[in-house]
Structure 1
């Protein structure tokens, strides 16, 4: 019986090529989206699962209250690590102290590379369950050791055995390679880490860390922990909550509280608001999961619509088969067989399409996903999903077609009218649903890109064009600082350069302990603080609202401050210039004078308000060097000149630079990725909807052939016939626009509330979506309308 069903199904597909193409093509596009989104969701849900102990790994984080607002940060003090090991040692299997990952130069002979790495306690390799290619995880117990990723070892040593080889980190730290580990996958929080070196080595080689090793107020470090298998992370988190308040004398004012943020929540739940986890990547998971579902739903709607529409043509077939003894169950089986055959063909085509577009999808989504050809679960899931899709999409047409009464069908009585009454409304509802989803996607895409453009056009308070940032990472830089500066300025490539403790597009330090005349004793301070050289403002292009910039002509400027407008408002100064600001720390009490006030400089998220910021001349700068290129010379030529000067003075340091405008644009990557993927899915959704609309328009034109012929004989014009065939579909599109607009407004308004600096949804977005939807519908239906209207009435009215 089954072979006969498949044979009949195949004959029907071949006989009706247009409808088969629409069904198979539309469903394959829907399944392709489902495959891509499914693999993307799997990649997101398995983030950090590479690490065997992921369910027991957590990062120690802290909440603190400043002026009634709770802020969350992953930075903690050094002595906390010892406290966790001793007082709470029964709860933890491993406690790993770490310094923030950043780029460092690795040199071996003539090979010099800038690689991203971390300095961590020796327990880190075991905690992260690194898969060692050479050496062992215990390699970091040697205080002068380094573990390299496989790709880094290959870049440095080629085919030579790396173990025992000597490297120089930042031309200052000599280490020996004690292990090589497998590169971590892209869906690991440590994917960028290309080397791991001992924490103690970094602490010894960095003088100021020695000052912080016993300080509970210097919260500049990271701590990762692995709890014992029997411990409950939430319970342990509650136990360690009061440590900072008990140890830190300032605990009574900021009320610091510790908590553990589990590794399995790092990626999807990375955002905190008022001390509570509010989401993160999980929003994108729900967003694209929903889009994938609805795109597939649109393809299934096409199948249902076209199958029920074609029921008129198959009514006699059903009647004859019933008259000769076919049971309803057999007819249902046949029609479901056809549906499953379409779904199966669509799935094969969908897998092929997914394979072809995967490189482009990975590029847009910033992923490294591939089709898991050898994974049995992938095929079982795909086949099961396809069977489910085929059954769900074919159930209604099968049940409806098999319900025809043979007497009425074969005598021609009532079948046509009942089909119209019974199917017209459901089919219209499904078309409205299709275009409702498509219009929502169009509106969402427009709002996303409007928000990105709004944020990109935000006044930055500095000129990011023509700026590059370098990280010298060499002890040779300090003694050659002035020589490098003078030689670069003497070229026609650089107009100014300056140093800073943070890059131009990021703030890395926050401090309290500030005071000024008139400050309320209840007001708590938490300013972003950046140490800079005198020329920093001129280099980046500060825009002064009052006062002046730092100047080397005034020795007193070493105790001067430049503040932003937000800081001036926070301090309550009508005229801040000349005011005295005190800064009191654990072992210092300094007095500064405000030299100038600048426009707010957007250094962090372009979507968030600028925080109160203070810039000062710092004793420890030079980590980041910012240069302004001369616009009269091409960047390529300028970079070549700069590299020559730097190589002359720092021959063992790689020429590693970034363009500030590119770094700033990188801040939009998440939203731009969302927009690009939404555009792609919107196009596919519209294409699928248009395929269905085209099929229905074709069928409608065929059903009304004689009506059109009669109208033409009676004098109807081509335009009136086109309007007759198009108006019903346009009504459905307009209804979809009315339904989609409030739904889209609600969800996009909710999305925009995540950004403090955001655009207002404009009316023209809905008008644009409506015009696009109507235009697309007209183009889709128009071809069949024109074709039907131009048909010779003699051919239309000729009787069989």
Structure 2
């Protein structure tokens, strides 16, 4: 008998699938019995009543998790649950992975912030992509000069006649002078910089008080930055007030600018309007010249304008209007504003005088080096994760086998292991961001930056950080996930070890790679340290210790130099005093001159020139090889030569040979001497060569002219002092200066400190390399420690058998350590030639440098071996000391 079909359909519709067969079976059996006892009609009526009685929640409720397909959310929830279960069950390996990645990511982020700051120099200006600096390339028979400068005419006429140029701006520095508040006499030495109105039209210098459009229009006006405003007036609301700037008239403040950010190529504290000097004779000569180099000029190009086309038209404009000497050629190109910081090593500063900041300009080579280092450190951290994950694959064989036998696809397992990797990486990134913010104050002080990693950080940094997070997670987990998911369920459930030859070779290769990078970093750090120490301790040809260099900053002090020198000499702690125009280690431009023997028709040679008095050799402790020293005013036309200059001029012994010096250059092109007459001088002595530039440069020809010469005026007092009570000595020097000029402040520096500034960037790089080297070694050791721990776990029964057979702890330690030490030895073999090539390439930047000794490689390699041995031996000794009874006990 068949029950009512419609009733069955209704029951199948509302009854839960997992109860459907059972309920229908019971109702059908009951229906057959009722038909036999009550008949078909009553049995059908009773059947409907039973069906309706099953319409209740307990029968209707489904179990979708058992019978429906799991959603992506369900799968992700499952991945996360298994991930956290795995991480908490293996606390040691989780800690090693998180620690390694945290240190790697911290180094990566710190270096990344530094590089981002370097690469985004001058990009705070909204139109920076259209702003270019004019670069002049000038060739003559005696010079080949690339200078960031142009003439007044080039800036003005190019704007009018070249269609690609929308606007122009220019600046010129003419030296330093006192800027003072006439009310309270606050005075500060500042560089005198003149600029035209286009400066505030091209650049987005933030104006916090005053009018941007008109602030540089009027004569006798000046704009200052807020830091200088606070020093002078203790306020930034100073528009309309006046300052004295060693001119014959006061200057009116027309605007106050926000302080320059650290990643700006502009460092001026004050800009005087160009109109202020428009009536001066010197400026009048400038504005009529086409081929001079008096101004640093910037051009704003129109949208989509080609800078090469604009530069070619500037060159054509020059050639049409300038009358160049025979054998002279000038060509212009345009340097993007964003390139000034990193791509100006071979370009002379064209604002007429260099400044201290120019010595620390960035170099793209070091940016590339540190970018590679940052990637390598992060890669080493990723390698740790890969090594530990693949090494511990055997411990998860049954888990993977059961999941594959239950229907899990390879893609599911890959997703699972990638999820684990991304979770570990995310935890490491969070910890690294916390650590970076803890370290940033010290890092900023060290690098002289204003780096940050927070809510107000440039959004691009966070985008790069998130990208690095994703890439790190995928790279770390990719190989382990594919390796662990490819084996068959049968092999996994038989508890076979997942240890194929390829994975073992890869793991060994990764360990070798880690220690190769670590050893290279160690060698580079030692070589850099040696070179910096060599530079600071090398015999420079003079004694730099306890030398105080005092600037001459006023006409009164310059005219009273003889009196001041005499009074300085009377101070008990002052041993000797010299007056000079420049000093060795000079941060300003040392003038060069054209020079040749009198009557010689050959091309002039080029030599540097320093004006000095008769005390110069004694004060600087220089050696006079032959001839005599200056004797006083009677030697105003006499000169001394260094050995290099004497050889260049063919002078073997000084005996009054006559030479002519017709022209000089102050960092730019050569021009006649200020007197407009050739300086005819006689050679009275030859001094031993001395280093007056960085050791990166070879000793160049040097002419020492008497202090009163037509080439360059005096600018410094240099005093050799005793090491006792230095503050009192400086105070007495200040009193001497004040007697001559009451407004003159004592501005001084110690010569050895100034010379050390040549290598300040190298010292920063040395320190950074030391910390990065330590980080790479630490991260590599974390991975090695984890691998050693796993190796000891896998060989625990073998160790037990060997101990029972009489193996000593030393034997077992050697057994467990030798495989890892072999890898470190291989790493040394690869690292040595790489480090030798890289360090010698860097050392070639210096004309005078150390040679890389063999012991540097031995020390670095031995250190790597010792560190690896200490890392591995701990686990090896621990495993060797385990009671063999416990090792051999059946599971």
With structure 1 as the length reference, what TM-score do the two structures score?
Answer: 0.92
CA distance in 1, matches of 2:299, 2:128: 11
Q: Which residue among 602, 608, 615 is the counterpart of 2:697?
A: 608
Give the superposition deviation at 1:134.
0.8
What is the aligned partner in structure 2 of residue 368 from structure 1?
450
1:65-104 CA distance string (max 9 Å, x none): 4668734333555665566566669746114141267574
Determine helix, strand or coil for the equivalent of 1:272. Answer: coil
What is the aligned partner in structure 1 of residue 473 from structure 2?
390
Q: Which residue among 46, 53, 56 is the counterpart of 2:120?
A: 46
What is the aligned partner in structure 2 of residue 98 from structure 1?
172
RMSD: 2.9
CA distance in 2, matches of 1:759, 1:248: 48
1:559-590 CA distance string (max 9 Å, x none): 11122222112112222441101122443123
Question: Does residue 1:575 correspond to 2:658, yes or no?
Answer: no
Q: Which residue among 96, 119, 125 is the counterpart of 1:22?
A: 96
1:75/1:479 Cα in 2 relative to 1: closer, same or farther (>3 Å)? same
1:775/1:202 Cα in 2 relative to 1: closer, same or farther (>3 Å)? farther
What is the aligned partner in structure 2 of residue 717 from structure 1?
808
Aligned length: 789
Could you tell me whether the CA contact under 8 Å between 1:186 and 1:367 is conserved in 2? yes
CA distance in 2, matches of 1:273, 1:486: 41
What is the aligned partner in structure 2 of residue 148 from structure 1?
224
Give the superposition deviation at 1:456.
2.7
1:734/1:17 Cα in 2 relative to 1: closer, same or farther (>3 Å)? same
Give the superposition deviation at 1:342.
0.3
What is the aligned partner in structure 2 of residue 118 from structure 1?
193
Determine helix, strand or coil for the equivalent of 2:216. Answer: helix
Higher-Rg structure is 2
Could you tell me whether the CA contact under 8 Å between 1:471 and 1:623 is conserved in 2? no
Q: Give the 5 Å matches for 1:59-208.
A: 59-65=133-139, 70-74=144-148, 81=155, 84=158, 91=165, 93-99=167-173, 104-108=178-182, 109-116=184-191, 118-137=193-212, 138-159=214-235, 161-170=237-246, 174-190=250-266, 192-199=267-274, 201=276
Q: Which residue among 248, 260, 269 is the counterpart of 2:343?
A: 269
CA distance in 2, matches of 1:699, 1:326: 28
Q: Give the 5 Å matches for 1:306-455.
A: 306-375=388-457, 376-412=459-495, 415-416=496-497, 419-455=499-535
CA distance in 2, matches of 1:285, 1:103: 36
1:336-370 CA distance string (max 9 Å, x none): 11111101100100101111111222233332211
Could you tell me whether the CA contact under 8 Å between 1:107 and 1:652 is conserved in 2? no
CA distance in 1, matches of 2:227, 2:348: 41
1:249/1:525 Cα in 2 relative to 1: closer, same or farther (>3 Å)? farther
1:668-717 CA distance string (max 9 Å, x none): 01222222111111111110000000000011111111111111111111
Q: Which residue among 562, 565, 588 is the counterpart of 1:485?
A: 565
CA distance in 2, matches of 1:462, 1:141: 50
Structure with more relative contact order (C-alpha pairs < 8 Å, separation 6 or more):
1
Determine helix, strand or coil for the equivalent of 2:862. Answer: helix
Please identify, of 34-43 and 539-548, the stretch whose mean Cα deviation from structure 2 is larger: 539-548
Could you tell me whether the CA contact under 8 Å between 1:107 and 1:171 is conserved in 2? no
Could you tell me whether the CA contact under 8 Å between 1:512 and 1:524 is conserved in 2? no
Could you tell me whether the CA contact under 8 Å between 1:5 and 1:337 is conserved in 2? yes
Give the superposition deviation at 1:599.
2.4
CA distance in 2, matches of 1:568, 1:293: 51
1:104/1:25 Cα in 2 relative to 1: closer, same or farther (>3 Å)? farther
1:434/1:40 Cα in 2 relative to 1: closer, same or farther (>3 Å)? same
Give the superposition deviation at 1:771.
0.8
What is the aligned partner in structure 1 of residue 363 from structure 2?
281
CA distance in 2, matches of 1:329, 1:750: 48
What is the aligned partner in structure 2 of residue 597 from structure 1?
686
Q: Which residue among 626, 629, 636 is the counterpart of 1:558?
A: 636
1:791/1:770 Cα in 2 relative to 1: closer, same or farther (>3 Å)? same
Determine helix, strand or coil for the equivalent of 2:346. Answer: strand
Give the superposition deviation at 1:503.
4.4
What is the aligned partner in structure 2 of residue 471 from structure 1?
551
Could you tell me whether the CA contact under 8 Å between 1:97 and 1:120 is conserved in 2? yes
1:777/1:362 Cα in 2 relative to 1: closer, same or farther (>3 Å)? same
Determine helix, strand or coil for the equivalent of 2:450. Answer: coil
Give the superposition deviation at 1:54.
2.6
1:713-745 CA distance string (max 9 Å, x none): 111111111111111001000111111122222
1:744-791 CA distance string (max 9 Å, x none): 222223223333333332222221221111111111111111111222
Could you tell me whether the CA contact under 8 Å between 2:575 and 2:722 is conserved in 1? no
Please identify, of 249-258 and 596-605, the stretch whose mean Cα deviation from structure 2 is larger: 249-258
Give the superposition deviation at 1:524.
4.0
Could you tell me whether the CA contact under 8 Å between 2:236 and 2:256 is conserved in 1? no
CA distance in 2, matches of 1:158, 1:110: 13
Give the superposition deviation at 1:595.
1.9
